[in-house]
Amino acid sequence: MSTEINANLLKNFIIKTIGGNKLTETNAQKYGIDEGKYVEANKDENTYLELDEIIADSDLYEQFATMYVEDKEEKASVADKEKEKEEQAKVQEKSESGV
């Protein structure tokens, strides 16, 4: 997967995903972030990583970028399915009105 995602878009996604601009180790595990990668990125050894620390760490950036791409693909898939249902409903309405 490509990690060529605009940093501002990724920051907004991270904030929306984790519910703020700080990532705790517990939340990192909740989102499937490797514990070793979290510890490695936590250079100042706080109880959390700030948004800029997440973006600065290439491994965490890549993991969140992957989550971002998967989220966009999932939303596109849901939208496609809804559009397909609407089209099927229109076809069915036309066929029923023609009977």
Give the pLDDT confidence of 5-41 residue by residue, as tens digits.
888 999 999 999 998 889 999 989 998 988 888 988 9
**Whether pTM exceeds 0.85:** no
- The pLDDT value recorded for residue 79 is 87
* pLDDT attached to residue 64: 92
- pLDDT for 43 equals 86
Structure tokens at 46: 């706080």
Centre a 10 Å sphere on the Cβ of residue 14 and count the other Cβ atoms it contains.
23
The whole-angstrom distance between residue 41's C-alpha and the CA centroid of its chain comes to: 20
pLDDT bracket for residue 99 (50, 70, 90): low
pLDDT at 2: 47
